[in-house]
Amino acid sequence: MARTILPFGPQHPVLPEPIHLTLEIEDEIVKSAVPALGYVHRGLEKLCEIRDFHQMIQIVERVCGICSKIHAMCYCQGLEELMGVEVPRRAKYLRVAWSELHRIHSHLLWIGLFADAFGFESLFMQCWRIRERIMDINEATTGNRVVVSVNVVGGVRRDLSKEHQTWIGEQLKLVEKEVLALKSTIVSDYTVKRRTQGVGVLTKDQAHQLGAVGPVLRASGWAQDARMLGYAAFDELEFAPVVEYDGDCYARLVVRFREVLQSVDLVRQALSRLPEGDINVPVKGKPKGEVITRVEQPRGELLYYIKGNDTKFLDRLRIRTPTFANIPPLLAMLPGVELADVPVVVLSIDPCISCTER
């Protein structure tokens, strides 16, 4: 049968954001895929030349709403390293707590969207219902549900009272209970397995060679997670990356599901060991020199390159987001996939196009 060229996106029911794939199809089987970007490119990196380095925190938070907190933490961490600022320990633990809350709500959002991609609407609804508890925590502790602007260069701008800590602990108990109640559906349900097992396989070698990061990398058998670098307070917490080995959509689902429970544990660890003390230190001077820093976003490794020139503006801010790294692996997952499974495979990398294009 002759090959057909089929445009997938940029507008598609399964895509929350626009990306276009040119699919070459033969007999409903994908033979190749070529991406096209540029629908939401905003040039945010360039703004560092006209916004001072403190104002840039609010801008990097808007690279991606879903992981806004972690973008800001990575940026502040880079500047702190560049300027020799020692962040108080309490601030480091608070950064961990809010980061892991972000990971929980990001993964629950994704599991819901993923279920929606193969028509499991009630699972979508349940995941998003549980996620609301985390959004409520964000709102109560930071004043905002999604873009939680808590990071400053030198620490954090908000503290958690004893009452907040107790209340978060109670909410996490409920989140854990409700997530575990979904475990048999997410991990063992026939429908979920039929649509995800053996679909969009990325082998262990491919994952490494194509530069995959985050849950996509770990679902292909690599125990690599930027949290192992020990940034913020991760070096003082018990943590081991979640790994699965099959490299298919199901493995990527299971990694994220297990990471939700792991993040609940990490928030608990951070709050139970929260040291007393200041939450930020005054920062003097201007950044000068180059620094490269990494953290683990829900979607994977995030890298910031910052170049300062001893003025309040930066010479260069470069952001390598996880979805940007996971697009070449996506192109390797698609050949051999049935056309009906393309939305499931595309969604399995948890694509964030706002991040990708910045």
Task: Give me the 219-248 binding string for another protein, x by CB under 8 A, dash otherwise.
Answer: -----x-x-xx-------------------
**217 vs 233, beta carbon nearer another protein:** 217
**5 vs 36, beta carbon nearer another protein:** 36
Sole window of 114-122, 128-136, 320-328, 334-342 interacting with another protein (rule: CB under 8 A): 320-328
Contact 131, 109 (CB under 8 A): yes
According to CB under 8 A, which one of 109, 233, 325, 334 is a site residue for another protein?
325
Q: Three-state SS for 285?
A: coil
Count of residues that bind another protein according to CB under 8 A = 39
Q: Please, which residues bridge with residue 302 across strands?
A: 295
How far lies 82's CA from each of 233, 278, 345, in Å? 19, 21, 40
Place of tokens 């601030």: 91
Among residues 189, 149, 117, 34, the alpha carbon closest in space to that of 344 is found at 117
Q: Rounded to the nearest whole angstrom, what is the least distance from the CB of residue 81 to another protein in the complex?
A: 6
Hey, how many other C-beta atoms are within 10 angstroms of the C-beta on 115?
Answer: 27
Q: Rounded to the nearest whole angstrom, what is the least distance from the CB of residue 340 to another protein in the complex?
A: 26
Among residues 147, 154, 151, 109, the alpha carbon closest in space to that of 127 is found at 109
Residues 38 to 57: which contact another protein by CB under 8 A? Answer: 38, 41, 43, 45-46, 49
Residues 285 to 304: which contact another protein by CB under 8 A? Answer: 289-292, 294, 301, 303
Q: Identify residue 228 by its one-letter amino acid code.
A: M
Ramachandran bin of 143, using left for φ above 0, alpha for ψ from -120 to 50, beta for the remaining angles: left
**112 vs 287, beta carbon nearer another protein:** 287
Q: Is 315 in the site for another protein (CB under 8 A)?
A: yes
**259 vs 357, beta carbon nearer another protein:** 357
Q: What sign does the CA torsion over 123, 16, 204, 337 have?
A: positive
Q: Is 273 in the site for another protein (CB under 8 A)?
A: no
d(CA 109, CA 86): 34
Hey, how many other C-beta atoms are within 10 angstroms of the C-beta on 240?
Answer: 10
Q: Is 31 in the site for another protein (CB under 8 A)?
A: no
Among residues 289, 339, 358, the alpha carbon closest in space to that of 8 is found at 339
**155 vs 241, beta carbon nearer another protein:** 241
Tokens of 133: 């508890």
Q: Is 211 in the site for another protein (CB under 8 A)?
A: yes
Q: Rounded to the nearest whole angstrom, what is the least distance from the CB of residue 149 to another protein in the complex?
A: 26
Footprint on this chain of another protein (rule: CB under 8 A): 34-38, 41, 43, 45-46, 49, 81-82, 208-211, 224, 226, 228-229, 289-292, 294, 301, 303, 305, 307, 315-316, 318, 320, 324-325, 327-329, 357
